[in-house]
Amino acid sequence: MRGGLAAALVVAGLLLLNALFTGALAPAFALPPYLLQVLCLAGINVTLAVSLNLINGFTGQFSIGHAGFMAIGAYSAAYFSVTFGEALRAALGFLPPFARDGAVLLVALAIGAFLASIAGFIVGVPSLRLRGDYLAIVTLGFGEIIGVLILNIDAVGGARGYSGIPKLANFFWIYLFAALTILVVYRVVHSSFGRTLVAIREDEVAAEAMGVHTTRAKVISFVVSSALAGIAGGLFAHYLMYVNVRSFTFLKSFEIIIMIVIGGLGSISGSVLGAILYISLTEGLREFAQYRMVLFSLLLVILMIVRPQGILGHKEFVTFLTKRRRSIGAAPGTPGNA
Amino acid sequence: MTTFLQQLVNGLSLGSIYALIALGYTMVYGVLRLINFAHGDVYMVGAYVGYYASRRLQGREPSIVSALLVMLVAMVACGILGILIERLAYRPVRREARLTLLITAIGVSLFLENAAQLVFGPDPKFFPSLAPRADFHVAGMRLTSEQITVIAVSVLLMVLLRFFIMKTRTGKAMRAVSFSLDAAKLMGISTDWIISVTFALGSALAAAAGVLIAMQIPKIDPLMGIPYGLKAFVAAVLGGIGSVPGAVLGGLLIGTSEVMVVGYLSSTYRDAIAFGILILVLILRPQGLLGRVQKEKV
Amino acid sequence: MRFRALAVVCLSAVLAGTVSCGSKGSQKEIVIGEYGSLTGGIATFGISTKNGSELAFDEINKKGGVLGKQVKLLVEDDQSKPEEAGTVVTKLINQNGVCAVLGHVASSHSLAAAPICQSNQIPMISPSSTNPRVTQVGNYIFRVCFIDPFQGAVMAKFAADTLKLKKVAILVDVRSDYSVGLQTFFRQQFRQLGGEVVVEQSYSQGDSDFRAQLTAIKAANPEAVYLPGYYTEVGTIVHQARELGITVPFLGGDGWDSPKLWEIGGAALNGCYFSDHYSTDDPNPAVQKFVADYKAKYGQTPDALAALAYDAARILADAIQKAGSTDGSKIRDAIAATKDFPGVTGSISINSDRNAVKPAVVLKVENGKFLLTETIKPEAVKL
């Protein structure tokens, strides 16, 4: 089966890269740990960007509280690892250490994704009655409320932040899930369900008139997207070993939005590009930390004026390579689109 | 009982500030259907302009006149800032998708916050006292002259705004534009000019709020616009975005409920309350308390 | 098409920049890293700390440096974000090859970065993080200040024994582990000494309106209010409290210590007390020289953070000198063996928990000055 072979190749490739980068294979080829950290954070950003693009880019809904889902995923996954990680590891004593760690991580991420998707469902349901800007405000509000709630749960550290999380995530796992996210979103978008999402984006009323279950589609889109964000959050927690509510404010949500807007809403490869570009600029301009955000915000405004569809617009990277005009719908910057 | 009344007064004074800022949000949304995320930061700039203006006046006796002068300077400066923002950032993208507008607004907001940190320095500054201080004891409560000033000036400004919108030609034009931009154009109204005026007014009100708050709570910092802007925005939506009396009502409600929750329950839920109320209202009555139902035409 | 090419070019340029930037110290220098919040909400803490350590290393370099080499201090900004703390420390250790790290003031930031220093076996000295959990991360993590269990107890003892108070209210900053921790310890000790906490209210760092909480506190009629927060909110809170008619004194911790406290709170603060690490009133000539040097270089009176950073830097330099090498484990051992080091914040000895055992001072705020009121030694407090 071609799909299975491709998957196996990807997994093997990532394992190889991971071993290479961490120096397990040949110390001479090991990446400087700082660069490895940047790469890993980029990978997490990719997952976040691509998952957000599903709602914002493909379904056309304004969701600006994405960091809230990430927070839920991060905290619940972390709580599991810290509280039940040891017990699970003991129960799986017959497996080699890396498999045990992997198992704990997978269960933690699954829990994180599940709880985040519940939140996504709760946020998605009001979308029945809310359009555009109102939905944006509600998602922002939910993001803030989630933050406040977590702040009050002392078991996960409250204001002090949650530390002592085992470092279970590494390059392999992060990029595996990034690849998985891309795959999932790609499959969703290129299915008939994906077509309904785009229809909703283009003209919700018309779509409803065509018999599309708009609410159901929107809610599913939120649930999938938030689950993926939850996974990204879990990986984040297990990589940095410490999380604090302050990492998940609306500023973080805005950062993710910047990423997908730069790359191009409605383009998966655009989100990947945007995520990598964003973190490279953030790290590369670290010397000029004070001017960095000023420049960023200015660039963002200029980008919106000059090229609102971002770098890739609605097209995927492959269209430039293979010259196939496979784009889904028109770019949002074209006049006449509300 | 006294405590309750005192908390009520606290809530009203906080609510007036939210109302002033909310008015700017609601007016801009009314004409442009744009959530001006940068509005909270204009409020912050107003406070800073007021700060530097009052430093110039230092040495003179604190008086009502100097306080009003400072406020006026801040209002004018921010009015100009509002017009600039509209011209440079929002006008070019006016016809774009809503998400583009939203993101542009976010960009402007981030820019103002970070530029302010760079220019003014990240640590808070202390606003000098402008008006003579006096305390009033009414029914066991203690009202400061600042609180009374806040409420009084806010009411005055809101009344002036109402008069302007209802009784002047420009005000009428603003109402026309908020009803339908295209129809207003067809009627010969210079919509660009009206939109600029709207921004200028809204920004001026935000600046006034900034100076009032700075007089009351002497601390100002570059990020002060964020919490106030967000909650004022919630207030505008609660009251019905696009509705001027709605913004006032929303502001007072949010301010009062926030103070009550903090005083009687716990301050940690302070921010959650504003959003909680918002979500409830949006689900039960999306057009807000005093808003019109937006019919979507196909 | 153009944009894609542009993007690729930008990307490679930036990545190249990332890799190449960050110089490793040459063999002729000893590179020490410091991470702090130079921008953002707690920026003044970071700036004070940076000033203190820079002053120390300048002096040391003038006298010939450490082990015959000049000391180079690399300071990185974490923008007042705890998660950034981890990233910048990783950069300092791996990209810049520092042999030791100084930082942080805020305990949450220290907690974020400490595991990284520990796993890389790079010693870390925090000048002023007071939450006990920081040094519990591992044996490479030290601090040169006292910890909150002691500090909270100090103020409780002062309130109960010196001020003879029986009923106190607490106003805590729930977003700060420092504040939350400190009030827990204060409350424990105060109860033990026979006092009562009549009401507790809370606020969040960054808030500016506290009237609701203060009105509730006023209704409970306490004899004093314990306010273990940071100076930015403290000044505003006390100012508003006086407006509401609360006349009782406010008590606090070292988070009050800042040149800006009086600027923000003004005369409202007269008659308030807070616990701290040192006092500029200390007649000790070393302290006075430090204060004068700092004023000459930076134009400001040094606060406790600057003083602690100064001491931390000197202890580190001293440890490297004693260890005779820049090897992490040797420096670690030398730091752990520090006994009776003459610091400007007192005589510093590092105990087996890697914390400093030192007396605390209680300062009274009077007309813009912090007056030394009482010195409380560790032995005097029953923990």
Q: Which of A61, A43, A42 is nearest to A52 (CA)?
A: A61
Q: In A205-291, where do the E strands start and end?
A: 242-243
For residues B39-54, give the mean pLDDT. Answer: 92
Q: Of B38, B33, B25, which is closest to residue B234 (Cα–Cα)?
A: B25
User: What b-and-e string marks burial along A146-184, b requiring 16 or more CB atoms within 10 Å of the CB?
Assistant: bbbbbbeeeebbbbbbbbebbebbbbbbbbbbbbebbbb
Domain boundary among A193, A224, A250: A250
The pLDDT value given to residue C27? 63
How many CB pairs below 8 A link A and B? 126
Q: What is the pLDDT of residues A57-84, one digit of tens each?
A: 888 888 888 999 999 999 999 999 888 8
Question: Rounded CA gap, A77 and A73, in Å?
Answer: 6
A47 pLDDT more than 70: yes
Under DSSP, is residue B287 helix (H, G, I), strand (E, B) or coil? coil
Length, in residues, of chain B = 298
Task: Give percent above pLDDT 70 in chain A.
Answer: 88
Q: Residue B140 has what pLDDT? A: 66
The answer to whether A126 contacts B237, with C-beta atoms less than 8 Å apart, is: no
> Shortest CB distance from B224 goes to which of C204, C208, C244?
C208
Asked whether the beta carbons of residue A161 and residue C82 sit closer than 8 angstroms, the reply is yes
Q: What is the full DSSP assignment across C204-257?
A: -TT----HHHHHHHHHH--SEEE----HHHHHHHHHHHHHTT--S-EEE-GGG-
Domain match, A206 and A72 both:
yes
Residues of C in contact with B43 (CB under 8 A): none
Which residue of A160, A236, A252 to mutate against C (max C Cβ within 10 Å)?
A160
Asked if the model's pLDDT at residue A149 lies above 90, the reply is no
Contact C362, C273 (CB under 8 A): yes
Residues of C in contact with A246 (CB under 8 A): 81-83
Name chain B contacts of A300, Cβ cutoff 8 Å: 103-104, 106-107, 110
B147: closest chain C residue by CA: C243
Best interface-test mutation with C: which of A31, A286, A306, A312 has the largest number of C CBs within 10 A?
A: A286
Task: Compute CA distances C147 → C92, C162, C251, whole Å.
Answer: 26, 22, 18
Other C-beta atoms lying within 10 Å of the C-beta of residue A187: 11
A41 shares a domain with A9 = no
Do C375 and C297 fall within a single domain?
A: no
pLDDT digits (tens, 9 = 90+) for C310-326: 999 999 999 999 988 88
Q: Which of A294, A305, A338 sits opposite B111 (nearest CB)?
A: A294
Residue B109 to chain C, least CA–CA distance (Å):
16
C174 shares a domain with C263: yes
Using a CB–CB cutoff of 8 Å, tell me whether A163 touches chain C: yes
Smallest CA–CA distance, residue C63 to chain A, in Å, is 30
Residue C10 falls inside a structural domain: no
B252, pLDDT greater than 90: yes
A100 and A48 share one domain: yes
Inter-chain touch B33–A151, beta carbons under 8 Å: no
Q: Are residues A15 and A110 part of one domain? A: no
Considering the domain architecture, whether residues C248 and C129 belong to the same structural domain is answered as no
Q: Which residues contact C153 (CB under 8 A, 6 or more apart)?
A: C185, C186, C188, C189, C381, C382, C383
| Per-residue model confidence (pLDDT) at position A59 | 85
Which residues of chain B are within 8 Å of residue C266 when distances are taken between CB atoms? 126, 218
pLDDT at A328: 52
Mean pLDDT of B96-105: 82
What does the pLDDT read at residue A338? 41
Could you give the number of structural domains in chain A? 2
Residue C313: burial class (beta carbons within 10 Å; 0-12, 13-18, 19+): buried
Confidence of residue A44 (pLDDT cuts 50, 70, 90): very high
Chain B: give the shortest CA distance to residue C206, in Å: 8
Please check the confidence at residue C142 and state whether its pLDDT lies above 90. Answer: yes
Q: What confidence tier does C24 reach under pLDDT thresholds 50, 70, 90?
A: very low
Q: Is A94 on the interface with C (CB under 8 A)?
A: no
Task: Give the pLDDT band (50/70/90) at residue C53.
Answer: very high
The answer as to whether A337 is a domain residue is no
CA terminus-to-terminus distance, chain B: 54
DSSP codes of every residue in A184-224 = HHHHHHTSHHHHHHHHHHH-HHHHHHTT--HHHHHHHHHHH
pTM for this model (two decimals): 0.81
Cα B84 to Cα B193: distance, rounded to the nearest angstrom: 13
**A contacts of C133 (beta carbons < 8 Å):** 163
**Could A159 and C7 be called an inter-chain contact, meaning their C-beta atoms sit closer than 8 Å?**
no
Q: Is C249 left (phi over 0), alpha (psi -120 to 50) or beta?
A: beta
Q: How far is A239 from chain B (nearest CA, A)?
A: 28
Of A336, A317, C122, give the one whose Cα is nearest residue A327. Answer: A317
Closest CA to C87 of A272, A75, A283: A283
Contact check, Cβ <8 Å, A297/B237: no
> Sorting pLDDT into bands at 50, 70 and 90, what band is C23?
very low
**Statement to judge: residues C140 and C268 lie in one domain:** no
C239 and C370 belong to one structural domain: yes
Confidence at residue A26, expressed as pLDDT on a 0 to 100 scale: 65
CB contact under 8 A, C213 and B264: no
C137 and C165: one domain?
Answer: no
Contact B274, B226 (CB under 8 A): no
Does residue C6 belong to any structural domain of this protein? no
Question: CB–CB of A130 and B298 under 8 A?
Answer: no
Q: Which residues of B touch C204 (CB under 8 A)?
A: 267-268, 270-271
- Whether residue A24 lies inside any domain: the answer is yes
Residues of B in contact with C208 (CB under 8 A): 213, 217, 219, 224
The pLDDT > 90 percentage for chain C reads 38
Give chain A's length. 338
Q: Where are the alpha helices (DSSP H) in B121-189?
A: 145-167, 169-179, 181-186
E strand or H helix that includes residue C72: strand C70-77
Residue A134 sits in the same domain as residue A228: yes
Residue C8, domain member (yes or no): no
A142 and A5 share one domain: no
* Least confident segment among A281-285, B266-270, C140-144: B266-270
Average pLDDT over residues C235-263: 88
Query: Would the pLDDT of B80 be above 90?
Result: yes
For residue C90, the chain A residue with the least C-alpha distance is: A34
User: Cβ contacts of residue C53 below 8 Å, gap of 6+?
Assistant: C34, C73, C102, C127, C309, C310, C312, C313
Shared domain check, C82 and C36: yes
pLDDT on residue A279: 86
Element (H, E) at A44: helix A33-53
Average pLDDT, chain C: 85
Question: Is A143 inside a domain boundary?
Answer: yes
Quote the minimal CA–CA distance from B48 to chain C in Å: 15
Give the per-residue pLDDT at C226. 96
What tokens were used for B102? 């939203």
Is residue A53 domain-shared with residue A180, that is, in the same domain?
yes
Please, which pLDDT band fits residue A337 given cuts at 50, 70 and 90?
A: very low
What is the per-residue pLDDT for B203? Answer: 93
How high is the pLDDT of residue B62? 65
DSSP label of A112:
H
Mutate to test the interface with A, among B103, B113, B268 (most CBs of A within 10 A): B103
- Would you call C28 an interface residue with chain B, using a CB distance cutoff of 8 Å? no
Per the listing, tokens 């001020």 go with: C163
Is the pLDDT at C240 greater than 60? The verdict is yes
Q: Could you tell me the pLDDT band of residue A25, with boundaries at 50, 70 and 90?
A: low
Residue A332 pLDDT: 52
SS3 C135: helix
The token duo for B260 is 């009550």
How many CB atoms neighbour CB B140 within 10 A? 10
Residues paired with C360 in a beta bridge:
C376
**Does some domain include residue A319?**
no
C325 within a domain of the structure (yes/no): yes
Residues A55 and A204 reside in one and the same domain = yes
Contact A284 C15 (CB under 8 A): yes
* C332 lies in the same domain as C369: no
**Bridge partner residues of C272 (DSSP):** C365
Greater confidence (B209 vs C207) lies with B209
* Neighboring chain B residues of A152 at a CB cutoff of 8 Å: 268-269
Greater model confidence, A11 or A2: A11
Which one is predicted more confidently, C348 or A311?
C348
List the subunits that have 3+ CB pairs under 8 angstroms with A: B, C
Q: What interface predicted TM-score (ipTM) does this complex get?
A: 0.81
Structure confidence by residue, pLDDT tens digits, A246-297: 788 888 898 898 888 888 888 888 899 999 888 888 877 776 766 877 888 8
Question: Is A23 a member of any domain?
Answer: yes
Mean of pLDDT values over C170-175: 88
C76 and C139 in a common domain: yes
Residues of C within 8 A of B224 (CB-CB) are 208
Q: Is C342 on the interface with B (CB under 8 A)?
A: no
pLDDT for A310 equals: 79
List, for residues B124-147, the tens digit of each pLDDT value.
787 777 666 677 777 667 777 777
Mean pLDDT of B156-167: 88
Q: Give tens-digit pLDDT for A82-104.
A: 888 888 888 887 878 778 888 88
How many domains does one find in chain C? 2
| A23 and A147 housed in the same domain | no
Answer yes or no: do A242 and C111 touch at CB < 8 A: yes
In a domain, residue C19? The reply is yes
CATH label of the domain that carries residue C172: 3.40.50.2300
Q: Which residues touch A205 (CB under 8 Å, ≥6 apart)? A: B296, B298
Q: How many CB pairs under 8 A join B and C?
A: 87
For residue A285, tell me if it sits in a domain. no
Strands C29-36 and B219-220: unpaired
Task: Tell me the mean pLDDT in the region B83-105.
Answer: 87
Cα separation, A75 vs A229, whole angstroms: 12
Q: Which residues of chain C lie closer than 8 angstroms to B225, CB-CB?
A: none
Between A42 and C258, where is the model more confident?
A42
Residues making up chain C, counted from first to last: 383
CA–CA separation, B213 and B222 (whole Å) = 14
Burial class (CB in 10 A: 0-12, 13-18, 19+), C97: middle
Task: Kindly list the partner chains of chain C, i.e. chains with 3 or more CB atom pairs below 8 Å.
Answer: A, B
> C267 is in which domain, residue-wise?
148-276+361-380
State the pLDDT confidence band at C18, using cuts at 50, 70 and 90.
very low
CA distance B39 to A290: 23
Beta carbons of C4 and A320 less than 8 Å apart: yes
Of A34, A286, A307, which has the smallest distance from its Cβ to C3's Cβ? A307
Q: Return phi, psi of residue B219, to 5°.
A: -100, 130
Fill in the amino acid letter for B212: L
Q: Same domain for C116 and C251?
A: no
Which residue blocks in C63-202 are alpha helix, DSSP H? 82-90, 107-120, 148-157, 177-192
Over residues B112-127, mean pLDDT:
83
> Is A163 in Cβ contact with C94 (below 8 Å)?
no
pLDDT at C59: 92
Separation CA B174–CA B189 (nearest Å) = 9
Contacts of B18 (CB under 8 A, 6+ apart): B228, B231, B232, B235, B250, B251, B252, B254, B255
Cβ separation A137–B96 shorter than 8 A: no
Residue found by looking up tokens 């001479």 in the block: A28
Query: Does residue C127 have a pLDDT over 90?
Result: yes
Pairing relation of β-strands C369-376 and C360-366? antiparallel
Q: Are residues C74 and C154 in the same domain?
A: no
Q: Are both A1 and A149 inside the same structural domain?
A: no
| In the block, residue with structure tokens 């450490």 | C66
pLDDT at B284: 82
Please indicate whether, in this complex, the C-beta atoms of A241 and C18 are within 8 angstroms of each other: no
Amino acid at A298: L
Mean pLDDT of the residues in chain A: 83
- Fill in the DSSP letter of residue C95: I
Residue range(s) defining the domain that contains residue A5: 1-30
pLDDT at A147 over 60: yes
Look at B111 and A301 and tell me if their CB atoms are within 8 Å: yes
Partnered with residue C252 across adjacent β-strands are: C274
Nearest chain A Cα to B241, which residue? A134
B223 with C236: Cβ contact below 8 A = no
**Does residue A143 share a domain with residue A22?**
no
Same domain, A211 and A162: yes
Q: Is residue C193 part of a domain?
A: yes
Report yes or no on A305 lying in a domain: no
pLDDT for residue B196: 92
Shared domain check, C121 and C66: yes
Is A334 within a domain? no
Give residue B72's pLDDT.
Answer: 92
